[in-house]
Structure 1
Amino acid sequence: MTTGTALAAVTGLLLTACGGGAPVDAPSDPATGVPAQPDPRGMLAARVAVAKDQRYVAAYTLVVQGKAPRSVLVTVAKDRTWRVDIQGGALGGTADVAIANRPEGVYQCAINPPTGCVRVGATNKKLPVSIDPRLQYVFIAWLDVLLDRQVPLAVSPAEPLAGTSAPCFAVEPGVTAVQPPIDAGVFCYNDKGILAAARIPLGQLMLTGEPAPAPDTITLPGPVVTVPPLGTSAPPPPKPSSSSPSAAPSISRSR
């Protein structure tokens, strides 16, 4: 089944009566007889359901206000392993990292400078805040959140983000959530179930070009090592050396 057909099928299921097999007309307002507007959350869920089934390699640009654009490369492999390479994803934007998820765990891999991969958690688990770039959730964990009707979310249609014609939806976590399972933002998915654009607190993501076919599995960009993972914050400035020369003594004029 093609992705376009899958999207149509999922959308049809959302409009099917619980006990019947044929689509039914959208409910009408009893007072006016005018068909009710489609449910934005259901429309978004239909596209996210297709996104869950996609396997691909896709390049994005991340635009953060006041900073140079950064590149993001997302790989979702055929075996459901995944990897997200983030330019400037660590040390306050000065180091490039990849977050990779394999059956044996989640790894943070330093790409530039290359220092290897560190296992930082169990498979598909959140990372400690101090080392978490968070961008990987947009493509992986948040899909389940958007599909779960038990999660309190306010969803409404949004104006298309610049550079995309894909339908966009504004998502706001419920105010009762102590720790929101998703960041507030605007998410735009095309008919193939690929994230075309998103605006989140971290910045604005934009798909660049057509996604490429997925590999069978993801590979780590370096050997597994036992070193501390890189933090997301900028490192503190180096302390002055105690051996730094003192002020030059004054030279007295001889008589």
Structure 2
Amino acid sequence: MTGLAAVAKDRHYIAAYEFTRSRETVIVTASLATDGSWRFDVPGGALGGKQDISIVQNRQGTFQCVLDKTNACARVAKPEQDVPRRFDPLVQHPFTDWIDVLLSRTAPLSIAYAEPLVDGDEASRCFSMERNSVTVDAPIPTSTLCLAEDGVITAVDSPWGSLRLSGEVMPPTSRAKLPAVVTDDEPLSTSPPPKPSPKPSKTPSPSPSKKPADD
């Protein structure tokens, strides 16, 4: 696992993933640039699934960018700081800080081989990760991560959702660019997309029975 994680640490690429949570699937684009910066475009990543966003990290910090006609970015964390939970779409963690944890021999995790998350995927190696029994807080939630031999993440199952590689892996850019200018606007809260409204039943409800007429 450590050797494969080391390959993943140095792997830079652009790829699309099917991101499923709350029974809804969107396409997330991951961009891991050669200078160490990164960007993830997350449709429905804020305001309960109503707003598309990007989360971008570079040398100036981490930024949340609104992807609409306003196109504005707000800084959510300074360099070396964690993104506050209320602004964190979570989807980027397997590609960023999870790999560093897997490279640590002192990480409080129990790691074991796991069955492939995608049927017929013989090219990936999958690992289950669970909190060590003596640890109160784990750096990674109980999850399964799959890596190709070249270090590309191919699949993830986690409490916050699942990722499945979709399409071809593309060459990386030299740096991850912000999609808009940085403003003083307040970042948007992140949360799972809203659950679909229940469809009305096609079967009409029975009419109430009529009372018998008085004699």
Residue 80 of structure 1: CA displacement?
A: 0.9
> Which one of 89, 109, 116 corresponds to residue 65 of structure 2?
109
Whether 1:214 and 2:172 are equivalent positions in the alignment is yes
Paired amino acid for 1:99:
I
Distance in 2 of aligned mates of 1:230 and 1:106: 14
Equivalent-residue separation in structure 2 for 1:206 and 1:85 (angstroms):
15
| 1:113 positional shift | 5.8
Deviation at residue 204 of structure 1 after TM alignment = 1.3
Q: Distance in 2 between matches of 1:197 and 1:55?
A: 16
Cα distance in 1 for partners of 2:162, 2:54 equals: 19
Q: Does 1:158 align with 2:117?
A: no
Choose from 19, 31, 35 the match for 1:62.
19
Q: Give the alignment partner of residue 162 of structure 2, picking from 200, 204, 216.
A: 204
1:51 matched to 2:5? The reply is no
Distance 1:196 1:79 in 2: 22
Task: Provide the rounded CA distance (Å) in 2 between the counterparts of 1:182 and 1:87.
Answer: 24
Tell me which moved more, 126-135 or 170-179.
Answer: 170-179
Residues 55-111 of structure 1, C-alpha deviations (whole Å, 9 max, x = no match): 1111101122422x1111111111111111111111111111111111111101111
Distance 1:64 1:74 in 2: 17
Structure 2: give runs of 5+ residues left out of the alignment.
193-215
Say if 2:89 is the partner of 1:133.
Answer: yes
Q: How does 1:1-255 map to 2 (within 5 A)?
A: 44-67=1-24, 69-112=25-68, 114-163=70-119, 164-165=121-122, 166-233=124-191
> Which of structures 1 and 2 has the bigger CA Rg?
1
Aligned partner of residue 167 in structure 1, secondary structure:
strand
CA distance, structure 1, for counterparts of residue 80 and residue 45 of structure 2: 19
Report the TM-score, using the length of structure 1 for normalisation: 0.71
Equivalent residues of 1:48, 1:193 under 8 A apart: yes
Q: Percent of aligned positions with the same letter in both sequences?
A: 36
Deviation at residue 124 of structure 1 after TM alignment:
4.3
Paired letter, 2:26? R
Residues in 2 aligned to 1:212 and 1:102: alpha-carbon distance in whole angstroms:
20
Q: In structure 2, what is the equivalent of residue 6 of structure 1?
A: none
What is the TM-score with the length of structure 2 in the denominator? Answer: 0.83
Kindly indicate whether the alpha-carbon contact (under 8 Å) linking 2:65 and 2:73 is maintained by their aligned counterparts in 1.
yes
Q: Distance in 2 between matches of 1:186 and 1:75?
A: 21
Higher relative contact order (CA 8 A, sep 6+): 2
Equivalent residue number for residue 198 of structure 2: none
RMSD: 1.7
Does the 8 A contact of 1:58 with 1:75 survive in 2? yes
